[in-house]
Amino acid sequence: MITDFELSILEVLMSDARTAHDRIALMVGSTEADVTAAIADMEQRRIIVNYPATINWDLVSRDEVEALIEVRVTPQRGEGFDAIAEQIYRFEEVSSVYLMSGAYDLMVLIRGRTMKQLALFVAEKLSTLENVNSTATHFVLKKYKLNGVILEGGQDDNRLAVSP
């Protein structure tokens, strides 16, 4: 559980992680020292994990391929899904791993330079793991919305400039 004060800080950081602590203090009606302490505490508790920028890689001319892999596994006694998940998330190619409800068990997001590189990773590393029963690989073709931001259009302020 977090306090309303902490939630308000998180909302500021989610919209702009660069916001200076004195500015956050002003926005949430607190002092810089209290904000700095609260952020340090949330980092300590791993509520705030890191501060990445949201980047639209489609606009960058470099090879970057992303794929989403549905993985069906056999959970292990005493370990559940955690041990096999760890065997998967240790790979650098893997950017995210989620345990899912529904038709498959783990959703694995992987990133690489080329489709071939990712295909080989799935064939040679992922599918060959003990307890991995099957995989289905889906390559990402285009991103429309990322971290709550619509990437193309849709963000313009089209209100009247002055209204009552």
Find the shortest distance in angstroms from Cβ 150 to other proteins.
Answer: 11
Residue among 18 and 77 whose Cβ is closer to other proteins? 18
Min dist. Cβ of residue 3 to other proteins (A): 13
Nearest to 67 by CA among 18, 130, 116: 116
- Report, in Å, the least distance between residue 155 CB and other proteins: 10
Q: Which residues bind other proteins (CB under 8 A)?
A: 7-8, 11-12, 15-16, 23, 26-29, 157, 159-164
How far apart are the C-alpha atoms of 77 and 28, rounded to whole Å? 47
What is the C-alpha to C-alpha distance for residues 80 and 99, in angstroms, rounded to an integer? 11
Task: Specify the residue, 16 or 130, whose C-beta has the smaller distance to other proteins.
Answer: 16
In the complex, the smallest distance separating the C-beta of residue 69 from other proteins, rounded to whole angstroms, is 29
Q: Which is nearer to other proteins, 1 or 162 (CB)?
A: 162
Distance of CA 57 to the CA centre of its chain: 15
- If phi over 0 gives left and psi between -120 and 50 gives alpha, with beta otherwise, what is residue 147? left
Closer by beta carbon to other proteins, 29 or else 52: 29
β pairing state of 132-139 and 149-150: unpaired
